Amino acid sequence: MTTALLHVSDAISGYGASRVLLGMELRVRAAEVVALMGRNGMGKTTTIRTILGLLPLKGGDIQFGGRSVRGMPVYRIARAGIGLVPEGRCICTTLTVEENLIATQRPPPGGGAGWTLSAVYELFPRLAERRRNSGGRLSGGEQQLLAIGRALMTNPRLLILDEATEGLAPLIREQVWHTLERLKQAGQSILIVDKDIDALARLADRHFVIEKGRVVWEGDRDMLERDRPQVLRLMGI
């Protein structure tokens, strides 16, 4: 079995005395796209925050690249090679598009060309057109593209997207899915949270459904098609 790039093992986490994750299990292999699905409030964002060290791990372990990151400061986990596109985008509205991108730039692990300004602008020509505009003057869709570009500028080994297309216009949603397909073809490892089960079925190699802090269903795309009624019920759709 291929060693996982990310392995969340029996993770327990939450907010203060409240436990949200109650034995979370999740794996993402190199060059794999994994979807994390479930109803609101079931622990998807908590899982991401725990992976990144934004919430303390109170039980279990998280390994990235074969090394435990439990107790590591957030900046060291990020530098290990995890790039985040957060829910709500969280770009700096007072900086220009280009300044937002440059602010997060890191060289790729092991050298090589990696993601540069020109590469991000080639991926998102609209950002090149708006490069001198402040983040606050962008549309919601443009801000989401900027958030993806900003994460790519960290040259991540693993790209995590939380609610990747929530609140976006249909055309922008299609652009995001097309972009993620291109990244997948280039071998980028991706962990994605979204509610569009049809798009996830096309993109992701494996799917995890979480309920009350635990994975209650796991499978590949063929299993998802077979068990779609069950998965839809678990997602509240």
Calculate the alpha carbon distances from 59 to 6, 71, 132, 185 in Å: 17, 11, 46, 35
> Is position 65 within any domain?
yes
- Note whether 85 and 142 are within 8 A (CB): no
- Note whether 195 and 38 are within 8 A (CB): no
74's CB contacts (< 8 A; 6+ apart) are 52, 53, 54
| pLDDT digits 0-9 by tens, 184-233 | 999 999 999 999 999 999 999 999 999 999 999 999 999 999 999 999 99
> Is position 12 within any domain?
yes
Residue 2 banded pLDDT, cuts 50, 70, 90: low
> Is position 155 within any domain?
no
Containing domain of residue 36, as a range?
A: 1-79+196-237
User: What pLDDT, on the 0 to 100 scale, is given for residue 55?
Assistant: 97
Question: Which CATH number fits the domain that encloses residue 30?
Answer: 3.40.50.300
Beta bridge partners of 205: none
> Is position 52 within any domain?
yes
Split into its structural domains, the chain has a count of: 1
| pLDDT digits 0-9 by tens, 115-153 | 999 999 999 999 999 999 999 999 999 999 999 999 999
Query: Whole-model pTM?
Result: 0.95
User: What pLDDT, on the 0 to 100 scale, is given for residue 38?
Assistant: 96
| pLDDT digits 0-9 by tens, 47-101 | 999 999 999 999 999 999 999 999 999 999 999 999 999 998 889 999 999 999 9
> Is position 19 within any domain?
yes
User: What pLDDT, on the 0 to 100 scale, is given for residue 3?
Assistant: 80
> Is position 227 within any domain?
yes
> Is position 36 within any domain?
yes
Q: 1 pLDDT exceeds 50?
A: no
